[in-house]
A = this chain, B = another copy of it.
Amino acid sequence: MLATVLHGPRDVRYEQVDEPSIILPTDAIIKLSATCVCGSDLWPYRGLQPMDGPLHMGHEYCGVVAEVGREVKTVKPGQFVVGSFCLSDNTCPHCQYGFQSSCVQREFMSGAQAPYARVPLADGTLVPTAAVPSEDLIPSLLAASDVLGTGWYAADAARVKPGSTAVVVGDGAVGLMGVLSAKQMGAERIIAMSRHSRRQALALEYGATDIVSARGEEGVAQIKALTHGIGADSVLECVGTQESMKQAIQCTRPGGVVGYVGVPHGVELSGQSLFFSQIGMLGGPAPVRRFLPHLMELVLNRSINPGKVFDLQIPLADVADGYRAMDERRAIKTLLRV
């Protein structure tokens, strides 16, 4: 089959690869209904992450089960499923605590920017729907696999509560999903930091009450002004740079929490400065599996429309264009039609 392989910085190819097959009895093979490009795919695409060799790209997925290994019990061929980008057994102690992204058997999904993909640990990773959903819900169900689940985790980790004030640092797809999530969790005030008009508009649509376009010290000063000098209860850090993390920390009130989901690249934190800012922090790869049943239900009953974050939808064969559009910030997020 043809699938997506990254050979080096900005060298993404749609090329012949082996079809996936059951390797372990706990595997499933799915036929993808749609897949997409993740903001985190841009790190290796931009040469900002070391590569040992060609990478089979794609970790966000939903589709129909084609085949299962002999030990798979909870899904069967023909069922529509969504899975987390973090593969987990969903039975180990960390999974039981709701941190499936730290599962003792954790693997990261790969090779999903393709017509077919192998999903290891199928029982612990995949969540089936009662029926194959209608076509227009596919983008939103796909979003649940990572980008929505990650934005949701940022809000959960930052302990967004009814009536609270949340700041979202980062106007990428995850940040926008963070806005949606904070709204669902009842935040009264949601301040999105964005300097990009189309993203600002989507943030407002998803529930942002204020937009701050300034960054750095001026951005922090504006957040402080909007919060009566106090700072926010919850800050969702959805970028992963030193500057964005610093901004997130400085926007948080003492006793507030930064939920950070942008994979930190070159971020160093001073223990003493964290100590005296007296803020809580929780981050990491999102335990999407914990949230997946709830998020799928919200999509299926049309309470939320996370799929709107895909502002570019192209055929899988044009995947290289999809990377380029996101790299150049022409697209928020690219959906690939299979």
A interface residues with partner B (beta carbon < 8 Å): 93-94, 97-99, 101-102, 104, 157, 228-230, 240, 242, 245, 253-255, 257, 260, 263-272, 274-285
Cβ contact of A285, chosen from B104, B229, B278, cutoff 8 A: B278
The answer to whether A102 touches B265, judged by C-beta atoms less than 8 angstroms apart, is no
Cβ contact of A102, chosen from B229, B255, B268, cutoff 8 A: B255
Query: Which B residues are in CB contact (< 8 Å) with A245?
Result: 271
Q: In the complex, what distance in Å separates the CA atom of A268 from the CA atom of B271?
A: 6
Cβ contact of A97, chosen from B255, B267, B277, cutoff 8 A: B255
Query: Which B residues are in CB contact (< 8 Å) with A97?
Result: 253-255
The answer to whether A278 touches B283, judged by C-beta atoms less than 8 angstroms apart, is yes
Q: What number of copies of this chain does the assembly contain?
A: 2
Query: Shortest distance in angstroms between A275's beta carbon and chain B's nearest beta carbon?
Result: 5
Cβ contact of A254, chosen from B99, B242, B278, cutoff 8 A: B99
The answer to whether B264 touches A271, judged by C-beta atoms less than 8 angstroms apart, is yes
16 A–B contacts from the bound complex (CB under 8 Å): A93-B228, A97-B253, A98-B255, A104-B229, A157-B280, A263-B275, A267-B270, A268-B271, A269-B269, A269-B274, A275-B284, A276-B284, A278-B283, A279-B282, A280-B282, A281-B282
- Indicate the member of A99, A242, A255, A260 with the most B CB atoms within 10 Å: A255
Query: Which B residues are in CB contact (< 8 Å) with A276?
Result: 284-285
